[in-house]
């Protein structure tokens, strides 16, 4: 069993990561690993941003042009299987995000034409498309499903049997659906005017506002204003990085509320301080513990692979929303610095995760530092997706060896999905409700696979010279 061991060196990851990527994808592990950033601290300090007139596309010019196709059979079976599944609120949220990133990339914060794409102006629904000819119909349909299952607290997608109690359970899982409901409101003309005014009497606008109020006003908060993951107690989960923090960022972006955008960053920072293992924590250094109480005691101290995936993917979405909040020329230094922090924190987390990757199995263990736990498809797909997404946005922060690992996961898992959405060839998928037990498949795993397909596609596009407004903005930052 071969693992990539961590090194004690720190520093900038070589910009040549992209240049080596194509060769590495063909021959895994053939390229030497660039010096990684070690996630040995809770929070890194703000970085200086570029003020010397650097070409915003400079970081893109060195990209290789890997020839990466996609597996349409996997995508078709995964989507059909997801649609056939009963979904909890967070599963609904990651499902819609996967559909959005794969089917409607120009409606995402990653690939949108630019900040103006999120500014309504005075033209109503048609002008909100900003030249986009596609209407995100599947996302809007799923947003409606979340609204139908919204509870009296405003939590989207939580009512399944009708027996759910509004005073217990997760406080933030439902927030995973907020971005899709906001997008539906925007695309339907329920967000309008120069200030992006949300119509709180309209179908999507009302539901979005109720979800926002639920997570910001009806949930317990700990020291510093950290929002609890649970309704009945102060408790913090790694899953939250993908649920509430991107939701806050989306609400701030779509309603042009800078304070809410800043709050999304603050919540990321607060959660890192609670859950990220500091230097000196052995094999857990730089990784996220799973569940922790407000008093500091651990409910689940394990570094769950899916938790690392939730964390990395969530921080990237917050960074993307901040990057789309204004044009590159008018972004404040404070916002630029926050984007740099988020990208570096993601890089640190991924570096720590890749140090525990099992290159023989081409997967991560369910608990990444415990070799006796099973190899998990779900979390491995999530981390591979995050690796490709970060490499697309900030190639200097991703070593070539990490791209090789992500591609190895792709080749191990994606071709081995059965006709009914079950994983074959001995692959195991964590039970989304049990954390430590394997199963045949899950909505999470299928959605993470689609997210990986989308991130890998965008990585290949960037490598062939197709840039985006967000890539140009990030290219102007000093990483």
**Number of separate helices (H) and strands (E) present in the chain:** 16, 9
Residue 478: CB atoms within 10 A of its CB come to 14
Angle among Cα 249, 252, 254 to the nearest 5 degrees reads: 105
The DSSP-derived string for 313-373 is: HHHHHHHHHHHTSS-TTT--HHHHHHHHHHHHHHHHHHHHHHTT-BTTTTBEESBTT-TTS
C-alpha torsion angle, residues 97, 99, 105, 109 (rounded to 10):
-10
Predicted confidence at residue 355, as pLDDT, reads: 98
Contact 137, 117 (CB under 8 A): no
Q: What is the pLDDT of residues 85-119, one digit of tens each?
A: 989 999 999 999 999 999 999 999 999 999 999 99
Strands 291-293 and 298-300: antiparallel
* Residue 250, in any domain of the structure: yes
Report DSSP state, residue 56: T
Residue 349 lies in a domain: yes
Q: Which of 304, 347, 324 is nearest to 179 (CA)?
A: 324
Whole-number Å distance between alpha carbons of 59 and 467? 10
Task: Please give the radius of gyration of the chain, using alpha carbons only, rounded to the nearest integer.
Answer: 20
Which two tokens mark 102?
């794969």
Q: How far apart are CA 274 and CA 292, in angstroms?
A: 8
Is 226 within a domain? Answer: yes
CB 403 within 8 A of CB 25: yes
Buried b (16+ CB within 10 A) or exposed e, 81-110: bbeebebbbbbbbbbbbbbbbbbbbbbbbb
Q: Is residue 1 part of a domain?
A: no
Asked if residue 57 is part of any domain, the answer here is: no
The verdict on residue 42 lying in a domain is no
Closest CA to 380 of 414, 406, 401: 406
Q: What is d(CA 34, CA 237) in angstroms, rounded to the nearest whole number?
A: 31
Q: What does DSSP assign to residue 330?
A: T
Contact 179, 250 (CB under 8 A): yes
Interior CA angle at 137 toward 131 and 139, to 5°? 105
pLDDT at 432: 79
* Domain enclosing residue 280, as ranges: 84-476
Question: Could you give the CA distance from residue 217 to residue 215 in angstroms, rounded to a whole number?
Answer: 6
Give dist(CA 231, CA 435) in Å, integer.
20
In a domain, 79, yes or no: no
pTM for this prediction = 0.88
Cα distance between residue 271 and residue 291, in whole Å: 11
Measured distance CA(214)–CA(153) in Å, rounded: 6
The angle formed by the CA atoms of residues 297, 298 and 300, to the nearest 5 degrees, is 170
Query: What's the CA gap between 199 and 152, in Å, rounded?
Result: 19
pLDDT in tens, 445-477: 999 999 999 999 999 999 999 999 999 999 999
Cα→Cα distances 478→92, 95, 181, Å: 36, 34, 34
| Residue 206 placed within a domain | yes
State the CATH number of the domain containing residue 245.
1.50.10.10
Q: List the one residue out of 172, 106, 173 whose CA is nearest residue 139.
A: 106
Cα 162 to Cα 350: distance, rounded to the nearest angstrom: 39
Q: What is the pLDDT of residue 9?
A: 33
DSSP H or E stretch at residue 440: none
Q: Give the per-residue pLDDT at 167.
A: 82
pLDDT at 124: 65
**Which stretch of DSSP H or E encloses residue 300?**
strand 298-300
The neighbouring-strand residues paired with 364 are 376
The Cα-based distances of 433 to 88, 90, 169, 438, 449 in angstroms read 10, 11, 13, 10, 19
Q: What is the pLDDT along the chain (479 residues), one digit of tens a residue?
A: 555 444 333 333 333 444 445 444 444 333 333 333 333 333 333 333 333 333 333 333 345 556 789 999 999 999 999 999 989 999 999 999 999 999 999 999 999 999 999 999 766 677 677 778 789 999 999 999 999 999 999 999 999 877 678 888 999 999 999 999 999 999 999 999 999 999 999 999 999 999 999 999 999 999 999 999 999 999 999 999 999 999 999 999 999 999 999 999 999 999 999 999 999 999 999 999 999 999 999 999 999 999 999 999 999 999 999 999 999 999 999 999 999 999 999 999 999 999 999 999 999 999 999 999 999 999 999 999 999 999 999 999 999 999 999 999 999 999 999 999 999 999 999 987 787 889 999 999 999 999 999 999 999 999 999 999 999 999 999 99
Burial class (CB in 10 A: 0-12, 13-18, 19+), 220: middle
Angle between helices 178-187 and 137-148 (to 10 degrees): 120
The pLDDT tens digits for 354-411 are: 999 999 999 999 999 999 999 999 999 999 999 999 999 999 999 999 999 999 999 9
- Contact between 454 and 104 (Cβ < 8 Å): no
3-state DSSP call for residue 73?
helix
Total number of domains constituting the chain: 1
């Amino acid at each position: 069993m071969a693992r990539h061991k961590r090194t004690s060196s720190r520093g900038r990851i070589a910009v040549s990561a992209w240049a080596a990527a194509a060769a590495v994808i063909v021959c895994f592990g053939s390229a030497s690993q660039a010096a990684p950033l070690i996630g040995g601290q809770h929070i890194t300090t703000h970085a200086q941003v570029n003020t010397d007139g650097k070409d915003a596309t400079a970081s893109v010019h060195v990209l290789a042009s890997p020839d990466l196709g996609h597996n349409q059979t996997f995508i078709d079976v995964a989507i059909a299987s997801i649609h056939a599944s009963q979904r909890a609120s967070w599963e609904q949220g990651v499902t819609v995000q996967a559909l959005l990133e794969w089917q409607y990339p120009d409606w995402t914060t990653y690939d949108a034409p630019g900040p103006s794409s999120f500014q309504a102006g005075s033209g109503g629904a048609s002008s909100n498309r900003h030249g986009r000819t596609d209407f995100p119909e599947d996302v809007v349909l799923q947003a409606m499903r979340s609204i139908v299952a919204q509870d009296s607290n405003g939590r989207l997608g939580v009512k399944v049997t009708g027996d759910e109690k509004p005073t217990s359970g997760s406080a933030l899982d439902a927030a995973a659906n907020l971005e899709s409901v906001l997008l539906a409101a925007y695309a339907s003309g329920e967000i309008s005017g120069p200030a992006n005014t949300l119509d709180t009497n309209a179908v999507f606008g009302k539901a979005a506002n109720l979800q926002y109020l639920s997570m910001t006003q009806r949930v317990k908060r700990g020291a510093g204003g950290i929002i609890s993951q649970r309704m009945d107690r102060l408790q913090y989960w790694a899953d939250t990085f993908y649920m509430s923090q991107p939701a806050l960022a989306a609400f701030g972006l779509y309603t042009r509320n800078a304070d809410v955008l800043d709050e999304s960053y603050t919540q990321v920072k607060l959660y890192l301080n609670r859950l990220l293992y500091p230097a000196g924590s052995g094999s857990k250094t730089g990784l996220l513990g799973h569940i922790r109480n407000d008093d500091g005691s651990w409910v689940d101290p394990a570094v769950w692979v899916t938790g690392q995936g939730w964390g990395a993917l969530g921080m990237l979405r917050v960074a993307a929303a901040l990057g789309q909040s204004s044009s590159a020329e008018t972004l404040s230094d404070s916002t630029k610095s926050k984007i740099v922090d988020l990208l570096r924190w993601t890089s640190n987390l991924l570096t720590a995760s890749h140090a525990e990757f099992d290159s023989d199995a081409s997967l991560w263990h369910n608990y990444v530092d415990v070799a006796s736990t099973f190899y998990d498809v779900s979390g491995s797909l999530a981390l591979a997706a995050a690796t490709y997404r970060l490499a697309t946005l900030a190639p200097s922060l991703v070593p070539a060896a990490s791209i090789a690992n992500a591609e190895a996961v792709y080749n191990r898992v994606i071709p081995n999905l059965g006709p009914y959405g079950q994983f074959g060839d001995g692959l195991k998928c964590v039970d989304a409700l049990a954390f430590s037990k394997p199963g045949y498949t899950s909505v999470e795993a299928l959605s993470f696979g689609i997210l990986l397909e989308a991130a890998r596609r965008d990585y290949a596009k960037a490598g062939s010279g197709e840039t985006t407004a967000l890539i140009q903005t990030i290219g102007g930052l000093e990483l």
